[in-house]
Structure 1
């Protein structure tokens, strides 16, 4: 039986993946951009639309990071507006478990689920840095090793709140003019290391029961949280079958060890594409886009996130910096998630890649930060996506584009029909909620 491909679409902010200077690029703030991207994804029968969120403007050596400004309207507000102009598309928000509170966030997500008819999702992320924390009352109090402790408790509390109501708990009696509900509907109490809360949740059970939960993280703690802590899907950083298959198997094995049924945790790598009528044209177009995305100055700054040194004196078209990283020094780049936990090992690998391929500093940056994996004709890309999922590299992909907001159009017009011909992508929506369309079970509320 052909496995169905899960597709999400993310709209990137202003960074090295976005060609904001392209004449065809649109606004990162105007609602028309979000509307076009979401409606295009729905036209292509995508499962969900995904928005990341930046809680702080990035800085380099104390100055606003002009190579990568991540500022955009509030995610939940945008998704609530998109609920009105879409019918089937899931609406997934990246929201931080470190600087928010369970009651507030659970209430907002349950509201979005009601407004959208059961299409809400939450990509749960964490943070431990004081730079981001200074925007919040709690500041940078959270030790790095406690991030997932708080995230796990946060999710546990949120689910208790969502489950404090059961379907049918509240009814309207027109004769008496009163609302009737179960006496203890909405009541909750939780006491743990991170939270000590009790009260009564104000939002009745939403159409999905609980929003779909997604999570990113490939550390040992992140993998265990993804498999056992409750997320319905995990983002994967792997884009070749050789790397992706072991990760996919590990997540499924960890989930099974926690008593979860097969397929209950979806694995979804991020992906981008470059299309053309011939493979040669696609490769050339990819080269042009990559060099426009990562300028010489941009390459220096991207490598500074790992070296933690000022690399502005190094020639972008020359060899890699001949100095070691400074992981213990004051961060030169503030506000960017740290994805390379061991800078020395990472740089050693990069030196090997650069030597083998004769890469310059900029070419190495394009190679490791480029994020464009699918390059070719529509048929070639459809074949690769199809084969990747059928061979258990993932359950689907989160598709992005270098162009906002129209970058997804050609994928929907030229690749989606080919996936539908192969039987690996729906031709129409069958379910009414995001859980339905992802093939996930509906949680049974503890109060029910």
Structure 2
């Protein structure tokens, strides 16, 4: 029986709660050498693609820059274009916002990247939900969720019109005398709706993939439907067997109504990992990593995001605050996803108090408990078996790996886990085609 082939991608962490800044091996998240190191490791291991998230505004809390995160994020297209020159086969995926950009500009940038990389570009299409981020842009403000996805889908389809405005039979015609004439239709576009009113001529000829690979990350019903209609790959937050299978079946089950087959959408949960010589070693190391990820200061900052109040004087090694969260329509941490995640702070506080009491947890221990754990922990053989098992059981098609140390945190996985997946016959030993669509098995 033919085994499903696992898809793997490498996420450059940037701004997130996974990174262990205090690790002696941690490096810059801005210097180009860090991007090169992680990308070349991923390519050495035959990963499908390298992935960059996006940070459109520095995070703030209590009216100040959030100093427990990286300060700064280079431009996505600049980084990926530079990486195209130092990699040969690795896909290059960038997160570009559809709420504050325009189709012509984004399509031109992705078409250019696809040419520069010989067909390795991917676009993670996202929307923005908060006015805080919108203040950096001309349009400002934000859109309700239904309008965000409506604009995003219109944005994407408009970009497709631009990508498709150059067709092979329109580029040039031989007059018979050795003189080549450009077809007057090449690059012509005209799109008019309530979101975009544009027409003209697209300046970038059709790229090696025709269109970049489209990635989507929404977990809402609107996000899943958007992915089923338009995406080539979708991120998933579900890394366990039951939850993963439910998400997998739901999203793949939506494809038929759009004339698509299950093979035309790749489902990729984000995943962290901690390896050790033995499973016991790995679990001991994972415990240390979690305490490094959630320092005493980080625990208080996270607590403030839910309590919506200055808790700088609170003891992280003591119990949760006896006071309730402030619910007055304001927010102490504008633009933070955790504010959205805990929509009912009073209910969250009750649940956390019950959990802390039941397990005798301090504030810091409680935050460690509720803010996530490593997805894969164990010896290389244990981790390889777990990844392969989830993919073969249709809980995912692969994983986007997020190392906790940048830029060298992927090396151990590449050297110790990938060979075991290859021995199982579940992962490629070499690339079979030049483009990212080839790697992902997409038309």
| TM-score computed with the length of structure 1 as normaliser | 0.93
Retained in 2: the 8 A contact 1:127–1:147? Answer: yes
Deviations 1:62-120 (A, max 9, x none): 11111223522111111101111111100000111111111000000000000000000
**Paired position in structure 2 for 1:396:** 398
1:327–1:210 CA distance, 2 compared to 1 (3 A): farther
Q: SS at the partner of 1:213?
A: strand
1:179–1:86 CA distance, 2 compared to 1 (3 A): farther
**Paired position in structure 1 for 2:292:** 292
1:323–1:199 CA distance, 2 compared to 1 (3 A): farther
2:49 equivalent to 1:58: no
Offset of 1:195 from its aligned partner?
Answer: 1.2
Distance in 1 (CA, whole Å) between partners of 2:174 and 2:357 is: 76
**Paired position in structure 1 for 2:132:** 131
Retained in 2: the 8 A contact 1:9–1:400? Answer: yes
Offset of 1:390 from its aligned partner?
Answer: 0.6
Distance in 2 (CA, whole Å) between partners of 1:404 and 1:394 is: 25
**Paired position in structure 2 for 1:378:** 380
Deviations 1:20-79 (A, max 9, x none): 232212221111111111010001110000011111111112111112235221111111
Q: SS at the partner of 1:85?
A: coil
Offset of 1:334 from its aligned partner?
Answer: 2.2
Distance in 2 (CA, whole Å) between partners of 1:242 and 1:330 is: 37
Structure 2 runs not aligned, ≥5 long: none
**Paired position in structure 2 for 1:310:** 310
Distance in 2 (CA, whole Å) between partners of 1:227 and 1:14 is: 28
1:207–1:297 CA distance, 2 compared to 1 (3 A): same
Q: SS at the partner of 2:309?
A: coil
Identify which range, 277-286 or 14-23, moves more after superposition: 14-23
Retained in 2: the 8 A contact 1:325–1:343? Answer: no
1:299–1:231 CA distance, 2 compared to 1 (3 A): same
**Paired position in structure 1 for 2:277:** 277
2:39 equivalent to 1:38: yes
1:187–1:295 CA distance, 2 compared to 1 (3 A): same
**Paired position in structure 1 for 2:436:** 434
Deviations 1:316-363 (A, max 9, x none): 223334444445431111232355163345555545544454433222
Distance in 2 (CA, whole Å) between partners of 1:36 and 1:172 is: 45
Q: SS at the partner of 1:135?
A: coil
Cα RMSD of the aligned pairs, angstroms, is 2.1
Identify which range, 111-120 or 238-247, moves more after superposition: 238-247
Distance in 1 (CA, whole Å) between partners of 2:286 and 2:392 is: 26
Residues paired across the two proteins, number: 440
| TM-score computed with the length of structure 2 as normaliser | 0.94
Q: SS at the partner of 2:330?
A: coil
1:266–1:323 CA distance, 2 compared to 1 (3 A): farther
Distance in 2 (CA, whole Å) between partners of 1:404 and 1:191 is: 44
Task: Map 1:106-255 onto structure 2 (within 5 A).
Answer: 106-171=107-172, 180-228=181-229, 230-255=230-255
1:421–1:174 CA distance, 2 compared to 1 (3 A): farther
Distance in 2 (CA, whole Å) between partners of 1:274 and 1:302 is: 23
Identify which range, 22-31 or 361-370, moves more after superposition: 361-370
Retained in 2: the 8 A contact 1:13–1:70? Answer: no
Q: SS at the partner of 2:396?
A: coil
**Paired position in structure 2 for 1:446:** none
Retained in 1: the 8 A contact 2:170–2:185? Answer: no
Q: SS at the partner of 1:334?
A: coil
1:238–1:350 CA distance, 2 compared to 1 (3 A): farther
Retained in 2: the 8 A contact 1:91–1:121? Answer: yes
Distance in 2 (CA, whole Å) between partners of 1:278 and 1:301 is: 34
Moved over 6 A (4+): 172-178
Deviations 1:371-424 (A, max 9, x none): 521111000000000001111111110001111110000000000000000111
Q: SS at the partner of 2:399?
A: strand
Structure 1 runs not aligned, ≥5 long: 442-448
Task: Map 1:315-394 onto structure 2 (within 5 A).
Answer: 315-337=315-337, 338-340=339-341, 342-344=343-345, 346-347=348-349, 349-351=351-353, 353-394=355-396
Offset of 1:160 from its aligned partner?
Answer: 0.8
Offset of 1:15 from its aligned partner?
Answer: 3.9
Distance in 2 (CA, whole Å) between partners of 1:277 and 1:47 is: 27
1:10–1:371 CA distance, 2 compared to 1 (3 A): farther
**Paired position in structure 2 for 1:444:** none
Distance in 1 (CA, whole Å) between partners of 2:169 and 2:327 is: 55
